A = this chain, B = another copy of it.
Amino acid sequence: MARPLAFDPQEKLHQAMLLFWRQGYESTSVQDLVDTLQINRFSLYNTFGDKEALYERVIRHYRAHVFSHLEAHLQPASEGLPRLFAYLDAVCEGLARQPEPCGCLLQNSVISRNAFSPPLQGLVDEFITTLQGHVLAIMEAAVALGQVNTELSPAALADFVVIQIQGMLVASKGGAQEALQNSVAALASVLGYAKLGLSN
């Protein structure tokens, strides 16, 4: 064979994710990546392709990261509203876990998507679609189980909750963790769902 890699690509990918997360796509130069990942310019291109290709891999890495976190918190929950608030708590916890408040890499990407090529743009938009799918399924169950007394359709309720989540994703960028908790608590209250534990 030949000379082996002097670094772990997966580790470097993770570091790249953290950098993009903190700085955004456009504010992160290739030089930044070279400095932070501590690998040579050429090695970067050789293993990940160009900047946008790297970003696509970063996005996929992040997505897997986030969704595994969400699903881990979803496991023991039941259907409908309990499931919804397990989901929302997982979102809160995921946003609170990061060292610096950078919001959600994917939601941030949606907003600065002008810079991306159509395929990458599609990948980014896919995230919102998936989110909508999750929430819609949950709200349909909640309505079917009679857990929420409203004249609204499950679709409208799902839109409501998805927009709420998107709001949380961007608000967390300001580091307003308490506002996130309040927001979820308020949603629980107005939906008539009594959460155990932390109520103000």
Binding site for B on A (CB under 8 A): 22-24, 26-27, 103, 107-108, 110-112, 114-115, 125, 128, 150-153, 155-157, 159-160, 162-171, 173-174, 176, 178-180, 182-183, 185-187, 189-191, 199-200
Most buried by B among A107, A166, A176, A189: A166
* A173-B111 in contact (CB<8A): yes
Q: Is the CB of A159 within 8 A of B173?
A: no
Chain B residues, Cβ within 8 Å of A23: 114
Distance in Å from the Cβ of A191 to the closest Cβ of chain B? 6
Smallest Cβ distance from A89 to chain B, in angstroms?
Answer: 15
Q: How far is the CA of A92 from the CA of B24 in the complex (A)?
A: 28
Residues of B within 8 Å of A153, CB to CB, are 200
Residues of B within 8 A of A169 (CB): 170
Residues of B within 8 A of A178 (CB): 159
A174 and B128 contact, CB distance less than 8 A? yes
